[in-house]
Amino acid sequence: MTLLSSHLLVFSAVHHRAPPTTTTRNSPTTNHTVRFLCSPGVPPAVRLDQRLPRFVVPGAGAEDLLYNAGATVGVLGGGYALVRAFDELTRRNILQQGLSRKLVHILSGLLFLVSWPIFSNSPKARYFAAFVPLVNCLRLLVNGLSLASDEGLIKSVTREGDPLELLRGPLYYVLILILSALVFWRESPIGVISLAMMCAGDGIADIIGRRYGSMKIPYNEHKSLAGSMSMLVFGFLVSIGMLYYYSVLGHVQLDWASTLPRVAFISFVATLVESLPITKVVDDNISVPLATMAVAFFTFHH
């Protein structure tokens, strides 16, 4: 779930010129906050005020298949290395198991999100990307059902070391990764913000809340003001950072003056949902991203 090694990052910037008879610098623009840039095999002509993805790789044929397969293997290897690294740090008592588990929660999803531009511009590229969390989903099912036993996996992603825990929060987590890749992919800010809030926002809330969470929320004694405030701030900052990353690469264009308050509102709603006393009914790895998706959809499309 990390970026591929440098030999996979051989991209070339592609610059398209719009036909002079149909495009001028005075062409009218829309008032939409977000422009979604499609990236099938051959990009269409665009206005001068638009940008295409900076990194474009083959979009069809065997070359595209091999490229995406290589990207998938690289991201899978990176994700495996990440979990193993934190497992080793925990084994050597450099990190506590609880902190290690939350760092894996934060980094694995964000690095998966960062890796999306590595895949090609083919419409099928999202399926190769979704294969990465799908493999982890199968691992969780196999170990959660005790069909196999991977002690490193169990220690790195569970609270109590119970394999059945793999079938709850961790499983919901990878299912949300799959959903975001397949439904939203790189063309929409909705999936980007949802994963940022679930991974960074919720993850940081737990770390800060456990250390500095003496002051509890009045309506939920299991949540703290420090944790909720950190989720709001870090969730917002990481969301903006990820949107900027995709904007720089040309996958989405944003009107930042209106995007910033919208993302702030979405972050507030996600934080409010995370603070509710419903964890025993609905896991945070379901409630936070789904609430974020719903609010982001109505915020960016209305």
Q: Categorize the per-residue pLDDT at 224 as very low, low, confident or very high, splitting at 50, 70 and 90.
A: very high
Residue pair 192/242 in contact by the 8 Å Cβ criterion: yes
Whole-number Cα distances in Å, 159 to 52, 213, 236: 44, 19, 27
Bridge pairing between strands 216-217 and 220-224:
antiparallel
Tracing tokens 């919208």 back to the chain, one arrives at 262
pLDDT tens, residue by residue, 198-214: 999 999 999 999 999 88
Amino acid at site 36 = F
Give residue-wise pLDDT tens across range 153-166: 777 788 777 889 99
The answer to whether 88 and 25 are in contact (CB under 8 A) is no
Kindly state the average pLDDT of the residues 91-105: 88
Listed residue (35, 20, 132) closest to 74, CA to CA: 132
Residue 59 CB partners (closer than 8 Å, separation 6+): 39, 40, 41, 42, 120, 121, 122
Query: Phi/psi of residue 36, each to 5°?
Result: -90, 125
* Predicted confidence (pLDDT) at residue 279 exceeds the cutoff of 50: yes
In whole angstroms, give the CA distance from residue 116 to residue 130: 10
In the structure encoding, which two tokens stand for residue 176, read together?
């949300």
Task: Give the integer Cα–Cα distance in Å for 198 and 229.
Answer: 15
pLDDT recorded at residue 302: 66
Residues 29-50 have pLDDT tens digits of 444 445 444 444 444 443 333 4
Confidence at residue 57, expressed as pLDDT on a 0 to 100 scale: 52
pTM over 0.85: no
pLDDT computed for residue 45 by the predictor: 40
CB 57, CB 68: distance < 8 Å: no
User: Percentage of the chain surpassing pLDDT 90?
Assistant: 60
Predicted confidence (pLDDT) per residue in 73-96, tens digit? 999 999 989 988 988 888 888 988
